[in-house]
């Protein structure tokens, strides 16, 4: 297919495809799907080889967020039966992080629900970062705390944070249909603050909220312009008790096309398969490893994920390998830019990168991606809606897999061992 040959050539040169080409990827047929995966896989292997980076989420504070993000199980008006607890103590968070590191994670993502941290909250998180770094030599730490105020990113960086996550989630045009208590511009500003402080920026999207192909392409091109080191791709987990509970718009094939489009637009960026992969990709998760080079290990913020050992088995069975702590992630040109030109000793291009390469963040079971919460009124309409009328809510093949949406009841905030 001429389209795919063109996209591979551009991806190997780090050349931006046209919007029409990106839209064409989303419009390919199921008969062409394996060709699309194979083509995007060539780009993935050029820059990241067959390595898969493992990341581990620690939900520092769960639920009761004052924002109205309609996808989020932690919004204040949410009726989802999730765990609710206040800040974990540094030693509790460090213990949770150690379990993820023992399972193979090289990055720990510290997430807290809420609009954004107070200065006291930043103090808590800096102590937590210091405790984790002291107990786990070489581990990378990403913070995901919501909208940042002046100076907070610098304080997190000084405490040892490697990265900061804040997702754009959807296109600027439809953002107001998903969230009304803060703006798309607020999110962009926070990503830029993190970058200005020298943190590795992570920012991604949520697919499956009723958005159009154009919305998906728009948000991915906006991310390309922001130039984060990591782009997590989440697939909506339709929690009962949230405004988007009926949004079952995704098939495994659709998810793979979205991941391929992101890889073509962001060829040399860490693309992470984040929240919702078990719900929507299901048995086709191994194919996604040909497109992404990073996943979350085990459970998410408020929902259960695939068993940690199953993740490791899936990676090995698909012919990939877990990225070791001594291997940097991003290609050398990105590593050099992040490190201020310090360079890398790893091989070029697939074996080189940076310790500050991956951010974290995903709505990952419904919340914690910066501002995510809400009072539940007024209920935002689905992205892609027009004239205030909610977009059509469909269930592909009549199969809404509510049985795959399980609330997390173990790990952080509980007395039970985590899923790692």
Which of 44, 51, 69, 372 is flagged as catalytic? 69
The response to whether 352 counts as a known ligand-binding position is no
The Cα–Cα gap between 109 and 304 comes to 16
What does the alpha-carbon distance between residue 192 and residue 55 come to, in Å, rounded to a whole number? Answer: 23
From the candidates 44, 72, 75, 277, give the one annotated as an active-site residue: 72
Helices (H) and strands (E) in the chain, counts: 14, 10
Residue among 75, 115, 124, 142 flagged as catalytic: 142
**Nearest partner of 147 among 172, 163, 165, 162, judged by Cα:** 165
Token pair for 11: 């991806």
Using only the alpha carbons of the chain, give its radius of gyration: 19
- Decide if 372 is catalytic: no
Q: Is 266 a catalytic residue?
A: no
Q: Please, which residues have CB within 8 angstroms of residue 13's CB and are 6 or more apart in sequence? A: none
109 is catalytic: yes
Peptide bond into 349 cis (omega under 30): yes
410 is an active site residue:
no
Closest Cα to residue 233, out of 270, 185, 283? 270
Closest C-alpha to 107, from 29, 38, 55: 55
Evaluate whether 369 touches 362 at the Cβ level (below 8 Å): yes
Question: Any binding-site annotation on 72?
Answer: yes
> 56: helix, coil or strand?
strand
- Phi and psi dihedrals of 51, rounded to 5? -85, 145
Q: Which of 75, 254, 263, 272 is catalytic?
A: 272
Does the annotation place 65 within a ligand binding site?
A: yes
How far lies 61's CA from each of 125, 221, 368, 376, in Å?
11, 32, 9, 20
Q: Does the active-site annotation cover 255?
A: no
- Please identify which of the residues 75, 157, 187, 202 carries the catalytic annotation: 202
CA separation for the pair 135, 121 (Å, rounded): 21
Q: Find, among 108, 103, 19, the residue nearest to 322 by Cα.
A: 103
Dihedral of alpha carbons 165, 166, 169, 170, sign: negative
Residues 404-413 as b/e (b if ≥16 CB within 10 A, e otherwise) read ebebbeebbb
Residue 303 backbone zone (phi > 0: left; psi -120 to 50: alpha; other: beta): beta
The catalytic residue among 75, 107, 109, 255 is: 109
CA dihedral in degrees (335, 336, 339, 342; nearest 10)?
130
According to DSSP, the β-strands at 294-296 and 270-273 are: parallel
Any binding-site annotation on 369?
no
Residue 202 annotated as lining a ligand binding site: yes
Q: Which helix (H) or strand (E) holds 38?
A: helix 33-48
- CA nearest 291: which of 270, 317, 313? 270
Annotated binding-site members? 65, 69, 72, 109, 142, 202, 272
Q: Which residues are catalytic?
A: 65, 69, 72, 109, 142, 202, 272
Annotated binding-site members for [2Fe-2S] cluster? 109, 142, 202, 272
Annotated binding-site members for [4Fe-4S] cluster? 65, 69, 72
């Amino acid at each position: 297919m001429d389209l795919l040959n063109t996209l591979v050539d551009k991806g190997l040169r780090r050349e931006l495809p046209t919007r029409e080409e990106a839209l064409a990827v989303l419009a390919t047929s199921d008969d062409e799907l394996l060709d699309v995966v194979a083509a995007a896989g060539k780009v993935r292997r050029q820059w990241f080889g067959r390595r898969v980076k493992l990341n581990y989420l620690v939900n520092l504070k769960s639920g009761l967020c004052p924002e109205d993000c309609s996808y989020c199980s932690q919004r204040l008006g949410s009726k989802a039966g999730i765990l609710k607890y206040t800040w974990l103590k540094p030693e509790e968070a460090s213990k949770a992080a150690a379990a993820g590191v023992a399972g193979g994670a090289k990055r720990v993502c510290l997430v807290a629900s809420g609009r954004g941290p107070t200065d006291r909250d930043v103090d808590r998180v800096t102590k937590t970062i210091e405790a984790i770094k002291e107990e786990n030599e070489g581990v990378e730490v990403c913070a995901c705390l919501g909208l940042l105020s002046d100076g907070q990113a610098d304080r997190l960086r000084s405490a040892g944070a490697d990265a900061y996550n804040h997702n754009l989630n959807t296109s600027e045009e439809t953002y107001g249909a998903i969230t009304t208590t803060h703006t798309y511009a607020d999110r962009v500003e926070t990503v830029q603050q993190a970058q200005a402080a020298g943190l590795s920026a992570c920012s991604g999207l949520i697919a499956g909220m009723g958005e159009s192909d154009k919305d998906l392409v728009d948000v991915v091109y906006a991310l390309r312009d922001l130039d984060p080191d990591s782009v997590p791709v989440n697939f909506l987990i339709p929690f009962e008790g949230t405004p988007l509970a009926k949004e079952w718009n995704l098939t495994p094939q659709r998810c793979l096309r979205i991941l391929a489009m992101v890889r073509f637009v962001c060829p040399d960026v860490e693309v992470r398969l984040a929240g919702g992969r078990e719900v929507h990709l299901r048995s086709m998760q191994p194919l996604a490893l040909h497109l992404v080079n990073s996943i979350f290990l085990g459970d998410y913020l408020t929902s259960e994920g695939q068993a940690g050992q199953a993740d490791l088995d899936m990676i090995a069975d698909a012919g990939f390998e877990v990225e070791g702590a001594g291997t940097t992630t991003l290609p050398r040109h990105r590593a050099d830019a992040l490190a201020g030109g310090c360079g890398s000793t790893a091989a070029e291009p697939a074996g080189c990168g940076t310790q500050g390469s991956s951010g974290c963040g995903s709505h990952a079971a419904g919340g914690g991606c910066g501002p995510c919460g809400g009072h539940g009124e007024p209920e935002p309409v689905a992205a892609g809606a027009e004239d205030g009328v909610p977009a059509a809510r469909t269930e592909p093949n009549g199969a809404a897999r509510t049985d795959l949406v399980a609330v997390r009841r173990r790990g952080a905030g509980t007395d039970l061992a985590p899923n790692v």
